[in-house]
Each structure stands twice: as structure tokens, then as C-alpha cells.
Structure 1
Amino acid sequence: MSDSKRNDYSKQSRRTSYEDNAVVLVTAGHDRTIKLWDALKSVCTRTIPFVDSPVNQMALSPDKRYLAAVGAPFLKIYDIFSNSQSPMLSLEGHKSAISAVKFTNDMRYLATCSEDKTIRWWDLRNGTCDRTLENKTALTDVQIVPGYSHELLVSSDQGGFINIWDIANSKIACSLQYQDETFITRRSVRALAISPDGSLLAAAGNSGQILVWLLKIKVQHIESSSQRLDNSEPSLLGKQKLSQTTSTRSLSSSSKASLNSGSRKRIIKTYDIQSELVASIQAHPDKYITRLIFSGTSGYLVSCSADHTAKIWIINLVKNQNPNSGSSDKHQSQVQNSDSGATHAGLEYSKNNFRVPTQPIFIDSDSNSIFHIIKQAAEPISERNSSISEAAARDAIKQRDVNSSHELKFEILHVLRYHKSWVWDAAFSNDSGYLVTASSDKTAALWDVKSGKVIREFIGHEKGVLCVSLNDATTM
């Protein structure tokens, strides 16, 4: 986007709609409301009551038209561009609080997990629960594996296990254990994140430790069987009539196109999943980690914590030359921090691994993120963040070396110090140049990732903010 276009856009005096600015920013939490924001003006444009309970987590559909919000124990889907206060759809089935929700990229399915020890796989073409996966302990988070969006899920639980589920066969394909090697005790896993290419899986919990595994997934066996296709059901958001204000728009045209009449062969796959621990780091010592987020483009991992901070990590997967050897003091190695974060290279994603590009990654002025307008419009409102050198002085981050073929190197880019209470959630902008955080201090904050400065704050919730969703992708 040219400078003239950005300036003209930012100076518009009329009320900017979501369609115009292409930004959807949503927060929710303990006050049982969902708030939509004009991100340029830090103004709440719409408040939706979520009457039944606090909102535990939200997910925006990839086309940013629909918002799924979960509580105890309901799943509700809203039309972002409608003025209705009622959900388009309410799905029931879980017996206790729902911990997490995720859309598939084609918006045909939703995954939810709950404290009732089940994962539910919702078919949005007919409004039914297509699969119920039963776990042994209460579930805390769920992720859909990129490249296998209809096939593989990852879950975490309070028993300290991370399970990769084969959805079609309703079984665990691979199980990992989140274990503090110092005390040889299992600890509850609170947060999961999976890299955009599906090669790295990160988990964190109550001890403040992050573990990262390298995943290698292969299709091991394929069977086929006949399956009758039913073309009688439209998309569920076009079908459900929950109230007089319920929209009749379909969730996606691709969903309709997929429902053809006749029969076809159903492919049933099984998977060979190999995992290798590539990093163990005490990121927030002795404090809960509440959320982990991989960036979409620039090789960052964000951890949110009960210590009132969020940390942005630069990550770099390297091949270990001597995976079975190690020195006596390797368990006390510290992450080194450079003097400036401006020239740190991000990571280029490939299908099977991360590769460090030959040139540093900077935020392109023509990038398709609307938040470039924000940076021109205002100076940072807070200087309460930490520089990298300050972070090194304040935080002695200990990393446990791992004996594996690869090792994930961590480096702190910024320790984000602004919130006055627990930081519960975070969301990156489309180009990973900006980050929004949500906190129990009743606020959300927008950060410039490169500088580590707060450039917007969002105030309006009466109680703590538990979750945030952001989609600012635009082709302008």
C-alpha cells in the first residue's frame, strides 16, 4: 500500500466499518461480554452478551466472517458483520467448561475440547458432532495439525499428556509426555501451539517450562471403502433457525460444493508419527504459562504468563552435529541476547523444517496488514516494556540441552511489560508485525513487534479479559 493511500485512509472522518478497514479485533472474558473494536481508534464498536458464562476462548473463521466463542459448556457462533446480538448457531454436547475451539481452514469443521474429558469434532455442514474423542483427564487445549486439517488433532490435558489424534479412526496416533526432568513429575499442560507448517509442536504448563518437539508425519497405510454422500443438507449456518434474527447465509460456498450426490470411495489413513524433543526452556520460572502462539510468517513464538508479561522469542531450528554427546554443564547454558532486535532474522517455513533465510526479515511497507496505518497515526503510548539487554539482566533464562538430531535455539526479542495482572492470550497480525495481548487487568494492548512498544490500548471490559482474536489480512 502506498503512503498516500495509507494517509488518506487513516484520515477518513466517517465511521469505518469492518468491511472497509479489513480488521476484525475481538476480546472477551470474565464480564460475559464479547467486544468488537475499531482497531485504529481503540473504540468498542459492538458488545455482544455471552450470558451463560465467562468466555474461555474464541476463534475467528479464516474468512473472518464468523466468530466461535466457548464457555461453560456452550459453543456459539456469531456473524461478525451482523447487528444481531444472538448467535447464528449454538451447539450443545459438552458437559463441562469448554477449554478451546478451532476452525479448519475450509470452515467445514470445528474442534472443541473440554474439562469433561472429550474432544468434539463438529461438522458445520449439518450441525452435528461428527466425532467424540474420549480422553482420560480434563482437556486444556486443542490444535489442528496444518496439512492434515481433517485428519489430525493435538490435545493437551491436566494429566501432563499431549496426544495426537487420528480423527477418522477416533484413536490416539501418538502420545507425548510433558515432564519436568528435574523433579520427574508430570505437570498439567495448559497451552499448545503448532507451527504453520506443522513441523514444530510447543507445550507449556504450570511450571513455566516450554517443551518443543519436532514432528515427522507419514501416511503409513491407506484403505478405501464406499461412502454414500448426502446432498440434502446445506451449510449449518444456512440451515439453523435459532431465533428470528438468525442469519441464513452459508458458512462457505466450498462447503456446499462438496456435498454432491452419489457414492464415492472413502479413504481411511493411518499415520506413522515420529516426535523428537528439540527444546526445553524455563521461560517463565515457577509461573503459569497461559498461552503459546507461533507467528504466521516471521519465526516467532510468544508465551503469555501469570507473571504479568508476554515474551516474544526468536526461534531457530538447527541440526545437532553430535546429538549423543554433551558437556557436564550443558544444563546450565543460558540464552544469549543481542543488543538490538531490529535485525534479527525470522524463519522461512518449509514443509518439513525451518530454514534461516540469508537476509533479515523486516516489516514491508507494502505488507497486507492494516496495522501499518496505526504505526503512522500515533507514537507509542507506553515505555514500560523491556529492551533485549534489560531482559537479559532481569531474566536468567535457563535452557536444557537435548540429545537429538535437531535443536531449537531460543532468543528473547522482547519481554512485554505493560499489563498489571495475568496475561491470558495473544494474537498476531497477518504479517506478524503486530501483537495483541489480553489480561486480567481488564485491558488488551496492541504491540509493535519490532520495537516492543505499546501503540494502542483497548479499555472497556468490566472484568478480566481472557481471550483475543485478530484477523487483519487485506488485499488493499
Structure 2
Amino acid sequence: MVSDAGRTESIILATASYDYSIRLWQAHKATYLRHFQHPEFQVNALCITPDRQLLAAAGFQHIRMYDILSTVQGSGPVLNYEGIQKNVTAVGFHQDGKWMYSGGEDNSARIWDTRSRNLQCQRTYNSHNPVTSAVLSPNQQELIIADQAGTIHLWDVRTNQSFQLTPEPDSMVHHVDIDPTGTLLAAVTYKGNCYLYNVREGFSVSPIDTGADPQQLSTSPPRGANGGGGSSQPSKATEGLSTLELRGKREVHEKYALKCRFSSDSKLLCTTSADQTAKVWTVPDLTLVHTLAPEVNKQRWVWDCAFSSDSKFVFTASSDNLARLWSVETGQVLQEYSGHKNALTALAFCDTLHT
């Protein structure tokens, strides 16, 4: 994490809480800067746009965008994406900010054109089950989606092809993440297990001919198309899609695993859980490095985490109303971010050009 005082304004830490607020912090000193007023108590995910101008907050039936550069305390959203029937559980952006993706409990993943004044969904993928997590591959083409039925979906947003894989048929996949090199995929389940997959890129094919406007495509996987927990095998219907090869499985928490995130150097994985801990693991062997738990008091459920760009620090957000900054080297708390009046549910951190 950059510590040069001249660059602190480019380092953004945002936290969301059940107290109807989203706070921005000076990350190094844990200094509260300002807050946004959120119209509802629930924020399921936060994401900073690649240009660091806006903060997206995924909540109930809406994705609200806040102006990070605004100096007005308690300001409201500047954009509001609607048309979603239930909770929005995931949000993120194309690396150039061309479009935004989301996933929600209405069984859908969506693509939104952020350059258009028409704040409507452009593409939809039907997962048949509530979406718990979604992450965009570094190739900027494949969206990896997890759902409550325990299925992982790979959706090529360019060709509209998809593939499904089920690690644990009887356990929800709560979160997925792909490493910055695009070669490893992690998935954590409600049983506390972590599955690690090698990602093999497919070969290029021409986009499918649907006869429809490519900006209005809607697709859904065939029922019963789920693979096992091992390797995905390309078929004629999925040529060009990346495939997943199971590399390893490990129980990483005693209770529900809630989040998994790779470090920027792809050497570490942080997992969070309902067991009141976050844990840092080496990749790809999933050897435990540190259990992140305060020496005094319990942090309750740890809902979210994020690495710094130098992979030396981890931020966590938990149900004890606090965000924390941890040293990866020592496993000790370096800062606590105090001020929220209720449980923290999400965080976003950016100290690089792209989130």
C-alpha cells in the first residue's frame, strides 16, 4: 500500500453498514473523511469505478452510484440503476469502464452500458437460481457467476455462450474470485470449503448467431447441464470458453465461508467467515499463513475483505461495526476504522489505477 502522503488522495477505502451510510476513509491513519447517505439499510457489495470517480453500491432492487469526489457530507446517489426485482448481490466494472455487471437474487446476471444515458440493462443471463457472487475475468470477456444451488457459471458476454460446474451439489457457493493473471479461480461454500481451479483459456470462435440485437441478448443455461466438481470439458456448444480444472479443495473455515479474494500478486488468498475470522492462505497449495482475529473482543461475522495493491495488507469489514487493516507479514491489526453504528456488510479499496 502506498504510504507517500502526496498520493493519499488517490487511495480510497469505502465501507458500508446497516446504519444507512457509506463512509470514506483516509486509509493510512483510519481518519474518517465523509459519508454518503444510503436510502436503505442493506448494502451487499461496493465497487469503485476504474477512473475512481464513482462508487457503486448494490442493494435491494437498485445499484446506486455515488460521487467519490463530492465534498458534501451526507450526499445522496448521482445515478440509480433500477429494474431489478430483488437483492443485488454483486457489482463490478469492465477495466475501461465501458460497462458494469451485476448479479442478484432474481436469478440473473446483467450487463449495463455505463456510457449510455439510458440506465437500463443491456444483456441478461438467467442462472435459474439466486446469484450470490459474480466476478469478471481479466480477459474482460467471461463473467464467472455463483448461485445458491451451488453452481458456478462461466458466461461469455461477447459470444453469449455459457458453461456450468457444481463443486458441492448440496452446498451454496457464496463467493467466487479469479486471480489477476486469470489462471486461478477460487470458490467458497457455506460448508466452509474452498475449491481452487486452474483456468484454461479456450480458443477463439466467432460469436454465435442468435438473430437478435447483441445489445439485448438474454441467455440461460440448459437445465441439467451442470458438471461435477472436477474438470469442465469443452463441447461444441462451449468452444472458445475457458475450462476449469480442479486443483484442490480444503476446509478453510468451521462455519459459513463468506468471501474469498486473491492478492494482487496472485500468491495469497484471503477468506472470511461466520466463524468470526478471516484467514490468509498461500496459493496454490492453500497453506494457512495467518488467522486474522483480534486479541481482544470478537469481530463477529467477517463479511468482506480486500488486499492492497502491494499484497502486504488486508482490509476486513465485520459485524462488530468495524473495518480493520491487517499486516499480512505479522497477522496483526494495524488500524481500526470506527464510526459506523451498526454491522459492516461491504467494503471497497483502491490504491491503483484500476480496481
Same fold (TM over 0.5): yes
For the 8 Å contact 1:120–1:132, the answer to whether it is kept is: yes
The one of 29, 37, 42 aligned to 2:25: 37
Larger Rg over CA atoms: 1
For the 8 Å contact 2:171–2:189, the answer to whether it is kept is: yes
For the 8 Å contact 1:178–1:186, the answer to whether it is kept is: no
For the 8 Å contact 1:222–1:270, the answer to whether it is kept is: no
Cα shift readout 1:164-189 (whole Å, capped 9, x = no counterpart) = 012234442x211121xxxxx52111
Partner of residue 46, structure 2: 58
Partner of residue 146, structure 1: 138
SS across alignment from 1:312: strand
Cα shift readout 1:342-391 (whole Å, capped 9, x = no counterpart) = xxxxxxxxxxxxxxxxxxxxxxxxxxxxxxxxxxxxxxxxxxxxxxxxxx
The one-letter amino acid paired with 2:146 is S
Partner of residue 255, structure 1: none
CA drift at 1:129: 1.3
- The within-5 A match list for 1:352-371 is none
Q: Aligned in 2, Cα 1:227/1:170: closer, same or farther, shift over 3 Å?
A: closer
Counterparts of 1:449 and 1:189, CA distance in 2: 26
Cα shift readout 1:69-105 (whole Å, capped 9, x = no counterpart) = 0100110111101135122210101100000101110
Is the aligned partner of 1:104 residue 2:94? yes
Q: Aligned in 2, Cα 1:223/1:203: closer, same or farther, shift over 3 Å?
A: closer
Partner of residue 302, structure 2: 423
The one-letter amino acid paired with 2:347 is V
TM-score normalized by structure 1? 0.64
> Which is richer in helix?
1
Counterparts of 1:307 and 1:82, CA distance in 2: 37
Cα shift readout 1:419-464 (whole Å, capped 9, x = no counterpart) = 4200000011111111110000100000111111111000111110
Gapped runs of 5+ residues in structure 1? 11-18, 180-184, 229-268, 317-408
The one-letter amino acid paired with 2:103 is C
The one of 283, 295, 316 aligned to 2:252: 283
Partner of residue 116, structure 1: 106
Partner of residue 302, structure 1: 270
For the 8 Å contact 1:109–1:121, the answer to whether it is kept is: yes
For the 8 Å contact 1:131–1:170, the answer to whether it is kept is: no
The one of 33, 37, 54 aligned to 1:49: 37
CA drift at 1:412: 1.0
Is the aligned partner of 1:312 residue 2:312? no
- The within-5 A match list for 1:399-414 is 409-414=285-290
Counterparts of 1:272 and 1:99, CA distance in 2: 25
The one-letter amino acid paired with 2:38 is F
SS across alignment from 1:21: helix
Partner of residue 319, structure 2: 440
Partner of residue 219, structure 1: 203
SS across alignment from 1:119: strand
RMSD: 2.6
For the 8 Å contact 2:44–2:346, the answer to whether it is kept is: yes
TM-score normalized by structure 2? 0.85
Counterparts of 2:293 and 2:157, CA distance in 1: 40
Gapped runs of 5+ residues in structure 2? 214-237
